Amino acid sequence: ISQSLSKYSNSDAIIYVGCFSKGTEVMMGDGKDELIENIQVGDEVMGRDGLPRQVVGLPRGHDDMYQVTEKSEDNETAKISFQCNSSHKLVLVTPQDIRLTESKEKVTVAFNRLADISVGNGTESRTVRLVERAEKSFANAESNQAIINAAEFVTTIDTTSIEWTLEARDMLLVHSSIREVTQQLINPVLLEKEHLAGVLKSNDFQSSLAPQFSYLLGAFVGSSGKDNSKYLQQLSAQFDKKIVAEKSIDVQSNGKTVGTASIVISQEPVQENKRRKVAQVSLVSKIVQESFSSGIPSFMMSENINVRESFLAGIVDSQNQKLDDTVALKTLSVKTHDGIARLARSLGIRVSGKKQNQEYTLTLSGDALKSVSNWTSTSNIEKVDVIHKAQPISFDLEKIESADYFGVTLAEESDHKFLLSNMTLVHNCGERGNEMAEVLMEFPELFTEISGRKEPIMKRTTLVANTSNMPVAAREASIYTGITLAEYFRDQGKNVSMIAD
């Protein structure tokens, strides 16, 4: 667009606000994963509320790049990371911190707030909005009135965390005290699809058994690895040559046994009248082989939330773990490690990982973990309803070599935010900086008749533009510049219409 407008303006009408490196995986509107460079206009990406966001543009370019990496001493193997260009807007959250201090002279209230600062000089100057530490003082501290005034002022401050955006290159402008507590968000996947329910229904089983079926699949995944054979040997029972193993599990709900479910592995289907509780022999075997043999498939990240919770519960029970405020899950497979981490994050559960020798240990924690306890056989956590919400993470930012970047622009009416496949909440790219793009696109298509001749309106139009991200003085000067130009043409005897917006 910028190139097509160059004959009408010497400056770009579209302001690109940053994109990602090639190979970055994005969660699409249907829960599937796609590489950023493969996304097309008209595709839909996943929004923070579980609803799709339509792609209307595909910014591309070359720029300095930054590596964003989760910062955690306890997390070695499950860190979130991605690469973005210098003007990419990071979605940030900073907790409010209100403090009162008293001296003989005054009472001071310190708090965090969003403020605009100017950076650069001349044509390179721009306005950056960031969180800063602010103070307001009330004199005569020895009088009660100063304390009362300070207390009243505190009630006007929003105590919720400040969610804001800032270009990667501008993080250096943030004061160290604010930078230390500023985090990014890992957003749960609120889309709920009925994949397993559909599989059950297509195989003549009740779709309502999907959570129980998912529990059994989780038990298989959790028991895989060095202890798999021993685990199955202890729990299996031999029936005939067609049935290799069967496992019977009590199904728990709110701490009570509400029924039993059987899981079996076989080489051939079992007849309809044989031990059929949750899954037909061939169905379990088929799904484990096709979808779970190399880890946890991506469709689980957008499954029904109860199905996701019960899957994690199956993993917990298969490893004989008790679900307290935290739980540690072990695996020898890096793919299973990564899959469990993604699945937990899709529910708003905090994740950290470590590796010792050849074994991975994932530690899950947070309020959302309590919802998994509804499906485990034993738990020390009280059964409560849980709100699945975004989890903040601290992060490091490092400038790296320049590279090509790829991005997506979302529809103007959207919130301009979507999810990467690792559940990081990110800002879209190529956001329009102002309405000049529409003006410059529409005016060349408009014509008027002058002395019987058809002429484009653009030929008789002068535009003076200063966008909202430019300094206040520049915006104010644009009014006087417009007036001066209008007076110039008026003094030549021309009819002039001046419009200021």
Residue 419: both structure tokens together: 């999810």
Residue 264: pLDDT band with limits 50, 70, 90:
very low
- State the amino acid at position 203 in one-letter form: N
List the one residue out of 190, 266, 252, 222 whose CA is nearest residue 378. 252
Dump pLDDT digits (tens) for 450-500.
888 888 888 888 888 876 656 777 778 888 999 999 999 999 999 999 998
Q: Does domain 20-93+391-427 have CATH number 2.170.16.10?
A: yes
Dump pLDDT digits (tens) for 389-424.
999 999 999 999 999 999 999 988 899 999 999 999
Least reliable range by pLDDT among 51-55, 256-260, 484-488: 256-260
Residue 2: pLDDT band with limits 50, 70, 90:
very low
Residue 13: both structure tokens together: 């009408």
pLDDT at residue 287 in the model: 59
More confident residue, 19 or 297: 19
Residue 436: pLDDT band with limits 50, 70, 90:
low
The domain covering 195-374 belongs, at the CATH homologous superfamily level, to Homing endonucleases (3.10.28.10)
- State the amino acid at position 286 in one-letter form: K
Q: What is the pTM of this model?
A: 0.75
pLDDT at residue 245 tops 70: no
Average pLDDT, whole number, for the chain?
81
pLDDT at residue 24 in the model: 97
Least reliable range by pLDDT among 36-50, 77-91, 436-450: 436-450
Say if residues 414 and 47 touch (Cβ distance below 8 Å): yes
Residue 328: pLDDT band with limits 50, 70, 90:
very high
pLDDT at residue 496 in the model: 95
pLDDT at residue 290 in the model: 53
Dump pLDDT digits (tens) for 152-193.
999 999 999 999 999 999 999 999 999 999 999 999 999 999
pLDDT at residue 6 in the model: 38
Polymer length in residues for the chain: 501
More confident residue, 131 or 143: 131
- Average pLDDT value for residue range 308-320: 89
Say if residues 250 and 377 touch (Cβ distance below 8 Å): yes
- Average pLDDT value for residue range 85-96: 96
List the one residue out of 158, 110, 156 whose CA is nearest residue 137. 110
pLDDT at residue 171 in the model: 96
φ/ψ of residue 335, rounded to 5:
-70, -40
Residue 30: pLDDT band with limits 50, 70, 90:
very high
Residue 105: pLDDT band with limits 50, 70, 90:
confident
pLDDT at residue 268 in the model: 40
Q: Where in the chain is the domain with CATH 2.170.16.10?
A: 20-93+391-427
CB atoms within 10 A of CB 105: 12
pLDDT at residue 108 tops 80: yes
pLDDT at residue 199 in the model: 81
- Write the DSSP string, 430-461: S---STHHHHHHHGGG-EEEETTEEEEGGGG-
pLDDT at residue 209 tops 70: yes
DSSP symbol at 369 = G
Say if residues 440 and 429 touch (Cβ distance below 8 Å): no
Q: Where in the chain is the domain with CATH 3.10.28.10?
A: 195-374
pLDDT at residue 147 in the model: 87
